[in-house]
Chains A and B, each alone.
Chain A
Amino acid sequence: MAPSKVRDEPEETLSSPHDPGLLAAYLEGRLDAREREVLTAHLAGCAECRQVLALLARAAHAGLIPRPTPAARPGFALHRWLPLAAALVIAVATVVRWNWSPTPFGETRPSPAPAGVSISPPPSASEAAPSPASSPGGAKRRADTLDPGVLVTRGAGRRVAGKTFRLAAGEWIDASFDPAAGLPITDVNGPDQRSSLLSRLPALAPYAALGERVLVVFEGTVYRFRP
Chain B
Amino acid sequence: MRTRPVELVERDRILALVASQVHLRFALDASTFTERLLELGRAAASDRPPQEHVRRLSLDDLYLASACAQGEEGAWEECLARHGGFVRGFARRFLREPAASDVADQVIADLWERRKMARYEGRSALRTWLGAIVAHAALNAVKADRRWLPLECEGPGPRPQEQSVSPSDVAVPEDRLLFEGLVREAMEGLSAEDKLIILLHYEQDLTLDEMAIAVGGSKAGLSRRLKRAREQLRASIDDLAQSRTGLSAETLRSGIDLGRLQLDLGSVLGGEMAERKNDGAV
Contacts and interface: CB of A to CB of B under 8 A. Distances in A.
B196 A65 contact: no
Contacts, number: 195
B107 A51 contact: no
B256 interface: no
Nearest to A161: B21
Contacts of B206: 54, 57-58
B124 A50 contact: no
Contact of B199 (A29, A50, A64): A50
Contact of B60 (A11, A52, A203): A203
Interface string A65-92: 1111000011111100000000000000
Interface string A32-67: 000001001101100110111111111111001111
Contacts of B193: 40, 44, 76-77
A53 to B, nearest CB: 5
Interface string B239-281: 0000000000000000000000000000000000000000000
Nearest to B110: A13
Given A74-B216, A76-B225, A23 B132 contact: yes
Contact of A21 (B123, B152, B196, B221): B123
Contact of B133 (A14, A30, A161): A14
Contact of B128 (A24, A41, A58, A61): A24
A227 interface: no
B25 A60 contact: no
B23 interface: yes
Contact of A14 (B25, B59, B137, B192): B137
A25 interface: yes
Most buried by A among B81, B110, B127, B213: B213
B96 interface: no
Interface stretch (B31-39, B87-95, B168-176): B87-95
Nearest to B197: A76
A54 B200 contact: yes
Given A56-B128, A56-B132, A61 B137 contact: no
Contact of B216 (A29, A59, A66, A200): A29
B217 A78 contact: yes
Contacts of B196: 40, 43-44, 50
Contact of B89 (A12, A57, A64, A76): A64
Contacts of A15: 136, 140
A47 B161 CA distance: 10
A21 B121 contact: yes
B70 interface: no
Nearest to A66: B125
A18 B214 CA distance: 17
Given A54-B204, A76-B215, A205-B23, A66 B82 contact: no
A16 B93 contact: no
A22 interface: yes
Contacts of A43: 192, 196
A20 interface: yes
A180 B254 CA distance: 44
B82 A219 contact: yes
B210 A75 contact: no
B112 interface: no
A138 to B, nearest CB: 25
Contact of B152 (A55, A77, A201, A205): A55
B210 A64 contact: no
B110 A16 contact: no
Contact of A30 (B21, B123, B135): B123
A75 B193 CA distance: 10
B136 A20 contact: yes
A160 interface: yes
Given A51-B139, A52-B135, 12 more contacts: A12-B140, A24-B124, A28-B125, A41-B192, A48-B136, A54-B205, A54-B210, A64-B90, A66-B125, A76-B215, A202-B25, A219-B86
Interface of A: 9, 11-16, 18, 20-25, 27-31, 37, 40-41, 43-44, 47-48, 50-61, 64-68, 73-78, 160-162, 200-203, 205-206, 219
23 contacts: A11-B110, A15-B136, A16-B140, A21-B121, A24-B132, A29-B216, A50-B196, A50-B204, A51-B139, A52-B135, A55-B93, A56-B132, A56-B135, A58-B206, A61-B207, A64-B90, A64-B131, A68-B216, A73-B216, A75-B212, A161-B59, A203-B64, A205-B23
